[in-house]
Structures are given as C-alpha cells and as structure tokens.
Amino acid sequence: MIYIKLFFIFYCAALMRGGYAIQQLFESLGYQLFSHPISFDIFALPDLNLIQGVVLLLGIVDVALYCLAAFFQKNIVRIFLLLLLILPGIISAIYFPVMIRPAPLEIWKGESGSVGDVTGYSVLAVLMLVLGWSSTLLITRVFKYSSRCFDLFEHIWILVGLSAGLFFVSETMASRKVVEYTTTLRTVQQSSGWLMRQLGTYSAWCAAHPHEADQSCQWADRMHGMLLAFSYEDLENFAEFSPDSLAKYYGRYGHEVTQQEEDQIRFEISRYNEQICPVIDLGSGVKQYTLSHACETAPADFCVFGFRYEDEKALDNVGRSFAVSTECVLPKLLSLRDKAPGIIEGKKVAEQERAWKVLFFYMALAFLAGIKMAGSSIKLFKSSSVKHSLPPASPASVPVGEPS
C-alpha cells in the first residue's frame, strides 16, 4: 500500500512544483489573481491554489491524451509507451530519494526576478511536450495524414530556432541591466558603509578632543543613521529617500542647510584631514600624501564627480588620502542617485520581459518540440509495422528456336 501511495505522490508533487513555478513568475511580475490579503501560510494562498488546480487539470488532460494516443498504436509500441508513463512513479516508489519536492526551497512573495526554479520549469516543459506529442498523433489519426504537413512544419521549426537565438540575445541584454543594477547598489552600500566608518572614527576623535561642540562633530553623529540605512537598503529606497543636493546632506533630517553652515562643516572636516593625513609639498608640483590605516585614498572616479556640484578643486582630491572622504563620497552618492531611476526602471523592464519570455516562449517551444517528436514517432511506428514485400519476379523469356 505504501508503494502505491509513493507512486501517486511523485506525480502530484511534480504538478505542485510546476504550479509554484508559474506562481513565482506572476509574483515577479507583480500580479496576484485575487485581492485577498497575503497570508503567511504559503500553502493557503488563493492564487497558488488556483494555479496548481490549473496545472493539475493540465496533467490529467495530458495523461488522458497520452493513453489514448498509445492505445491506437501496435501492441509492442503501446506497452512501451505505458511503461514509459509509469516508470518515474515506479522508480520513486522503490527508491524514495527520487521524490520531487512539492515546493521549492525558497518561495518569494512580491519579489522581482525570482524566476529560477529549474525543477518546476522542467515539469511544465514535460507537460507541454506530452500535450504537443499526443494531440498531434491523435489529430493525424482522425484526419488524413500527409507527410507534407510535417515537411511544412520543418520550416516553422527553423523559424523557431532563429527566434531562440534572438531570445538568448535578448536575455543577454536583460542580464546586463541586472548587472548594472547590482553594481550600482553595491557601490552605494560599500561607499556608504566606508564613509560611515570614517565618520565614526571622527566622532570618537571629537569626543576625545575639545571639539564636541563643532558643527561637523554634531553633523557626523546625525549622518550615522542615514549612512547605515544606505549601506544595507535596496536601490529603490536610496533613490527615493536619499538627499538630492549637498545642502541636504549637510543639513538636518533632509532639510537644506545654509551655505555658511555647509562651508563651516566642510572647513572643519578639511582641517581634520590635514591634521591626520598631512600633505607634504615636495616642490615642482609634486606632493606626498600620507597613507595609513587612518588615511585612505578614495577611488578616482568618486572624486571627479565634485565638478557636477560646483567644486572647482575636485581634481585635487584625486589620488589624495583622506581620514574622512566626504569630498569624494557625497558627490558620488549624488551622481548615483541621479542615475538610479533609469537603472531601476531598466532592471524592472528586463525582469518583466524575462518572465513573460520564460512563461510563453519556453512553454511554446516545448509544445512545438512535442509536435516535432510526433512527426518522428509516426515515421518510426510506420517503419516498424509496414512490411516491405518484393515485387513478383517476371517470368524469364525463353527464346524459341527454329525447328531443325
């Protein structure tokens, strides 16, 4: 009894896994089939139940068409097809580790780009492959079969191959958008965390010296929470909530500071940098910078963005070591904020296109592959059942000789 249960559980688990794959695609696109509140019980979501019901119905239709197509074949072919149908269940019943998990290890609610369940897509591909194969065999049996139909399908198959090439080119472009998003997010997080660490050291220096009342020391304490958020939040929150000007970065809680207060904060931090990381002028335009664990050089492309925000001495900061790199990091964060909306939109469009392509192109390709396989099966079944007989030999002509 336990073996029979395991036999059927294998197919039910496979169909459930296919339902999860489709549900994850819709989640990545931001769609839900019902407006019910999201439940934390993933097995009770109404949209998931409906999708799994549709996949189960497709599985039942597939099995019915497959068995019907096998019924019309010769005995040896029929037995082979039926054994092929039940073989996965038998293996699963005898060797339990073959069992397919009914749900993936990770399930994302409302997460974009979560379209990578290979097992679920394999189940859907098999369903569409069987549907194309069995329905084609039945249609060719009901209607008069002509090999020209499959000769015409060869042209369609070539076009499908070309479209597959375009699909992979489009996938490469989408991957570039995702990589650009990831790179930008990593730059925001790492540069924010780096500046937060430097300002933490600066705050400790302020507490150890009679400078706690300085505006820059108070500002450094206020910046800690903002930079901490930037160091772990996603790019969407950074683009929406980060300051859009240097005056707001140096201000209080998103409000712009006066030019005089901004200049005072920057002057005090510059004075601290000169004290901790002095610059030695060697003459002839050559300068020696201090390099240590407290004096770090910002990436060159960080510092040059100061030109965008009216810093005429931005190039002087390239290659220079700082104890607090506000003159390089803050302009870089502003430039990333300006680029972020386009990067976010590009990633969103790329992921939506990827999800639709996976959902429709991948399923359509599996269905067409089933039709292609049906054409080969018809030729194979006919060649094994038709006996080719030699034409009857014509009687040999015997020349009639003249009587002697």
CA 319 to chain centre: 37
Read off φ and ψ for residue 287, nearest 5 degrees. Answer: -125, 145
- Tens of pLDDT, residues 228-239: 999 998 899 999
Regarding beta strands 296-297 and 286-289, do their DSSP bridges make them parallel or antiparallel, or are they unpaired? Answer: unpaired
Lowest mean pLDDT among 187-201, 268-282, 306-320: 306-320
Report the candidate in 200, 308, 188 with the shortest Cα–Cα distance to residue 246: 308
Residues 294 and 318 sit within 8 Å (Cβ to Cβ): no
Q: What pLDDT is recorded for position 386?
A: 47
Q: Is the per-residue pLDDT at 290 higher than 80?
A: no
Q: What pLDDT is recorded for position 347?
A: 85
Type of residue numbered 362 = Y
Lowest mean pLDDT among 45-59, 71-85, 217-231, 266-280: 45-59
| DSSP three-state, residue 43 | helix
Read off φ and ψ for residue 288, nearest 5 degrees. Answer: -110, 125
- Kindly state the tokens that stand for 245: 């000007």
Q: What pLDDT is recorded for position 33?
A: 56
Calculate helix-pair angle for 118-142, 2-29, nearest 10 degrees. 100
Residues 24 and 114 sit within 8 Å (Cβ to Cβ): yes
From residue 11, how far is each of 61, 86, 118 by CA, in Å?
14, 10, 17
Q: How many Å apart are CA 30 and CA 80, to the nearest integer? A: 44
Q: Is the per-residue pLDDT at 261 higher than 80?
A: yes
